[in-house]
Structure 1
């Protein structure tokens, strides 16, 4: 599908751009070792949260919201290998990210409300939503028009309602109807605009891999006030539990479509380079309006051979020695320094 076709398919409008996910999702999904499957799981949770948040089951035909259709939207049409992640009692249900149901929301009534947030010690205007589910219409004359077909199931995004379903201390509160999920409470979350999702899903070169990489850097960028996220390739690999070569490929995807700007804070890289000489890159996530339709050339760090690097180090050492001799009349070696 093209961007416009997907927009029409999901009946998206600009009031539906905000979908929030918990920041802890990246750590929790590390249990999925296959990186592409993990990217699929993240993107699947994002899509199901969007569908539920805006009660899309009331506007999109059920035939367009089957699990097979959702996989197709995510670029994995007919991929049965992914079923272990999204099936009933599958990985995401065991982790309590989703649960299977056929009682879907068909209407969402959003209201704004001023609430006191204890840990912030201040009032904050929050969105509050009241859902109307299929089951609420059982006695309605139009029930036959809104109920899903037999065997149709959807996935309810648990974290949208209960943020900590794996915390034993919260179970009693949740059973009594307490809700602290990301649909209404958005502290420590990240919000990827839905336009970004549609762009990625309709750009096969980007897809779920690019969306996952962008989402992580976006969340980190916003944590740092939108001024960029400084991180080395080694640390990024460690944070996401993804091999460096794979991280490099994923970064290439988001950089060549101008989704992410990568700034190099050193002139070159060489194998065997001293740790103290390695500087983190700065990653700045662009808004979707800056994404490109075709791949672009972007600045890549200069890579030099180890021999050339050692030669540079030797030249710099000699230069320092000359400068020290001229300034102090003596050469100060590293082993003479007090630190």
Structure 2
């Protein structure tokens, strides 16, 4: 969808240059998703993982901003279209339907009691729902929207099963420890680009989370695939797209033939602010492909010693 269509459908409102909501996602969502066999097994696993993450993120935003029924009633078909799929797509249903994958993982829950307003006073967040209005008489109880269902973002209110059982509000709407924040502008930008979509958004969010932890993210392709769950073919395509739109920077390391695996340096990734997004005006210099001999000549004697094969290293007298 085009940006203007997304903003209209989602009733997006801005305050200055920033959208009104600041959504925090639980860090454990990445491990929860990649260890879910329903998402990682079989074909299209990269698509399924990224849809599950993006759908969950969107459900958080819709609830916090009370946009489920603002200018438009947002339906499951609308959500599929927002995520870049046709409205009649059936392949997403096992992930997003009631008691589907995301519900089973404890991230969302189907309900007809949608939020209409929120208040934030003295550091306390509270939501007024359609059910509250009916009980108080502000909305006629005969108001018929029983067929309109939303997804309640469970972990936004209760982070664990224990807190849910006792009613503690320790979810990401209330406590932001061990979370990551990705601006909604990033979501809109990715969904408006055919070559980014949910996989682009998922990878940007993954790297943003890692950069929060370590400043920059240093990953070999094998480790990147293992921790993100995105297949290598898709990873190559979407990392290039993220870099093309200046959403990430990549410090690529030279490839050296016959260099021992434990001495190879991984690429270093960093994420850019959404105000910097757009067609990159420069092209990153491609990484060099070197022979071991050339690598030694280029890096001098000290680094040449590092490049000696392991079996030769054991024979050295020091």
Map 1:218-297 to 2 at 5 A: 218-224=208-214, 227-264=215-252, 266=253, 268-270=254-256, 272-292=258-278, 294=279
Q: TM-score, normalised by structure 1?
A: 0.80
Tell me the residue number matched to 1:9.
Answer: 9
Q: What are the Cα deviations for residues 1-52 of structure 1, in whole angstroms up to 9, with x where unaligned?
A: 3223322332222352411100110110111111101101100000000011
Tell me the residue number matched to 1:132.
Answer: 128
Q: What are the Cα deviations for residues 300-336 of structure 1, in whole angstroms up to 9, with x where unaligned?
A: 54353xxx6144267679x749x99xxxxxxxx8422
Aligned-residue Cα RMSD (Å) equals: 2.7
Tell me the residue number matched to 1:87.
Answer: 97
Distance 1:24-1:298 versus aligned 2 partners, 3 A rule:
farther
Q: Does 1:194 align with 2:184?
A: yes
Tell me the residue number matched to 1:21.
Answer: 25
3-state SS, counterpart of residue 291 of structure 2: helix
1:74 and 1:137 map into 2 onto residues whose CA distance is 31
Gaps of 5+ in 2: 306-311
3-state SS, counterpart of residue 98 of structure 2: coil
Q: Does 1:337 align with 2:312?
A: no
Q: What are the Cα deviations for residues 83-114 of structure 1, in whole angstroms up to 9, with x where unaligned?
A: 0001111111111111111111111112243x
Q: C-alpha displacement at 1:277, in angstroms?
A: 3.5
Retained in 2: the 8 A contact 1:259–1:286?
Answer: yes
> Which protein shows a greater Rg?
1
Distance 1:158-1:277 versus aligned 2 partners, 3 A rule:
same
Tell me the residue number matched to 2:154.
Answer: 158
Q: C-alpha displacement at 1:337, in angstroms?
A: 3.4
Q: TM-score, normalised by structure 2?
A: 0.85
Retained in 1: the 8 A contact 2:158–2:167?
Answer: no
Distance 1:190-1:4 versus aligned 2 partners, 3 A rule:
same
Distance 1:202-1:179 versus aligned 2 partners, 3 A rule:
same
> How many corresponding residue pairs?
298
